[in-house]
């Protein structure tokens, strides 16, 4: 593929701080845009039976999102895309920072991602953050919110928590950098930028005006 952008992926379980780190890096690196997996949630297709998927090894290639893959390909080749979540036009830049929970694991991602970062965090901390976020951002009644939290925790106990563990272990085995999700977000971003600079990746001149 004839790419015109350098692509960094940020991975980790829900509640690890992926989106926040993507935003922090986008603001601190010149010529960078952010591209979020969650913006394509309406077109994500997961295996129907999560427990069977887990028991068979939780292959990320069984998670399909051709719209996300297509638009990332377009951006990587220097073409604009329209985001499905808000119809916003996203222009390509030299650096694309991608929230991609599966790292290089999904179909087509291995050829696109140039540098993969994985956030390592105790799952109980990520779960607490995820539940708190769901409560704080709830638009439903207290009764409905409580039911949503209950449903999520039941799914987490049945399969989701174990899936996060297995998938994050896969991502960590294939990534260039593992960072702690317990660090402050500024420290997490510093570590990513420092490692890129150590590797003499010349695209990444930090823009002090955006710090």
Three-class SS of 20-80 = HHHHHHHHHECCEEEEEHHHHHHHCECCCCHHHHHHCCCCHHHCECHHHHHHHHHHHCCCC
What DSSP designation does 110 have? H
Question: Can you give the residue ranges of every domain in the chain?
Answer: 6-210
Q: What is the pLDDT of residue 201?
A: 64
| pTM score | 0.91
The CATH code that applies to domain 6-210 is: 3.40.50.300
Instruction: Give, for all 211 residues of the chain, the pLDDT tens digit.
Output: 678 899 999 999 999 999 999 999 999 988 899 999 999 999 999 999 999 999 999 999 999 999 999 999 999 999 999 999 999 999 999 999 999 999 999 999 999 999 999 999 999 999 999 999 999 999 999 999 999 999 999 999 999 999 999 999 999 999 999 999 999 999 999 999 999 888 766 555 544 444 3
Which pLDDT value is given to residue 2? 78
> Which pLDDT value is given to residue 207?
47
At 209 the pLDDT is: 43
């Amino acid at each position: 593929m004839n790419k015109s952008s350098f692509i960094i992926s940020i991975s980790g379980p829900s509640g690890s701080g992926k989106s926040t780190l993507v935003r922090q890096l986008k603001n601190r690196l010149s010529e960078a845009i952010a591209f979020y997996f969650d913006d394509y949630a309406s077109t994500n297709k997961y295996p129907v039976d999560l427990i069977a998927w887990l028991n068979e090894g939780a292959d990320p290639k069984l998670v399909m999102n051709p719209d996300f893959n297509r638009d990332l390909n377009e951006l990587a080749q220097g073409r604009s895309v329209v985001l499905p979540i808000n119809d916003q036009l996203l222009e390509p830049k030299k650096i694309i920072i991608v929230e991609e929970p599966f790292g290089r694991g999904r179909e087509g991602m291995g050829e696109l991602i140039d540098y993969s970062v994985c956030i390592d965090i105790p799952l109980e901390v990520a779960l607490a953050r995820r539940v708190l976020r769901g409560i704080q951002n709830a638009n439903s009644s207290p009764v409905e919110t409580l039911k949503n939290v209950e449903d999520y925790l039941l799914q987490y106990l049945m399969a989701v928590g174990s899936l996060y563990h297995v998938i994050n272990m896969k991502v960590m085995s294939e990534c260039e950098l593992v960072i702690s999700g317990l660090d402050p977000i500024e420290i997490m971003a510093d570590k990513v930028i420092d490692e890129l600079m150590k590797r003499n990746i010349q695209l990444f001149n930090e823009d002090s005006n955006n710090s």
